Structures are given as structure tokens and as C-alpha cells.
Amino acid sequence: MNRKNFNNDTFIKLHSFSQLTYDEIEKAMNISRAEVQKLYKSCKNEISYMQGIRNKFNKKRFLKEFMFKDFNEFYDWYESQPKSCCYCGITQEDALETKVYDNLTRKTRGKSLEIERVVTFPKEKNLYTYKNCRLACHVCNNAKSDFIDVEDFKFIAKGINDFWSKKLNRKIDLPTEVYDTFSLKKEKIDK
């Protein structure tokens, strides 16, 4: 790794993970304020990407069902997820292209893929954990609500997949991971 990348990585660690102030970063990296500002400029895209993930974390972190132990664990989870709906396969970019969300009255919804808890009942399993969370589009998240299990929701997700595919005029791939992982039938056969 060259020095520039090393400095950028260190800066992002200190700024976006440890959330140090400029003063603290100056001291930790032993550099001047001007150099800190320069690093900030050159890392702008990464910082705004990280901020988006932190906003998602902050929105949920005080819920009693939220089991991620800290931002780092949440970030790891987020990075491990495909950036498409776990149920119907749509990406946020494609969803926006259809303009389906333009008529939403709650303007906070449909802004990005939403954090979805796959298992929602019994109530004590309805948790935000590394294993139980996926990313879902607003349509699927809304439709599944908290009373349909993943196996049954597959029928609905196929319809939602058709809906997006028709709007986009091209076939969106239906994902398999969430159905394979959480299939109840499979669990029964395995037992």
C-alpha cells in the first residue's frame, strides 16, 4: 500500500469509525490541520458513503430489538449484503428509475434499500442481528410486514419481481439466498 492510500485509510478509520475530532486526528496522525483538511477532501466520497451507513445504524441503535453490538459489526454486516432486495432482487437504482416511489406520501421511505428482519415471529426472534437482517426494497418490506414468513412471502415476492421487471422492461433475477437460508420446509426435512 502506498503512503497516500495508507493515510486515507487511517483518516477514514479515525474520522468515520472512531469519530475523532479534527484536533484528535491531527494528534493521532501527527499532521497539521491543513493536511487533515486535505485528507478530508480526498476522502469525501468514502466519508459520505460511511455516513449513509451510520445514519441507518443511528436510526435503529436504541431499539430494544437491535442486537448489533456496535457500528463496526453493523458496517461489516452491511458490506456483506448484496445491494439488492433479498426477496425480489431489485436494486435501489432500478427502483428509482421506475419512478414508483415518486408518489409516496412519506418522503422518508423509498430513499434506499431498507434493513429487513427476515424472521419476525415468534416475537422474541424478531431481532436486528447479523444473521436475521437483509436489505429489502420498500415494496417488499411494506408487503411482508411482520406477519408473513419467508416461505409464504416468496409467492408475493415473485409478483413484486414481475412488477419491477415489467416497469423496467427487462427481467430482474429472483434471488435465492434468503429462501434457501430461511426455508422452514428445509429445516423440517433436516431435522
- What is the C-alpha separation between 185 and 51, in angstroms, rounded? 39
Q: Which three cell numbers, joined as nine digits, stand for 155? A: 409467492
Distance of CA 110 to the CA centre of its chain: 13
| Interactions with Zn ion, residue window 73-102 (CB under 5 A) | 85, 87-88
Residue from 135, 137, 150, 172 touching Zn ion (CB under 5 A): that is: 137
Name the residue nearer to Zn ion (CB basis): 43 or 139: 139
Name the residue nearer to Zn ion (CB basis): 75 or 94: 94
| Least distance to Zn ion, CB of residue 160, Å | 5
Contacts of 117 (CB under 8 A, 6+ apart): 65, 126, 127, 128, 132, 133, 146
| Contact between 115 and Zn ion per CB under 5 A | no
- What is the C-alpha separation between 93 and 117, in angstroms, rounded? 22
Name the residue nearer to Zn ion (CB basis): 73 or 162: 162
Distance of CA 63 to the CA centre of its chain: 17
| Least distance to Zn ion, CB of residue 119, Å | 17
Give the residues lining the site for Zn ion (CB under 5 A): 85, 87-88, 137, 140
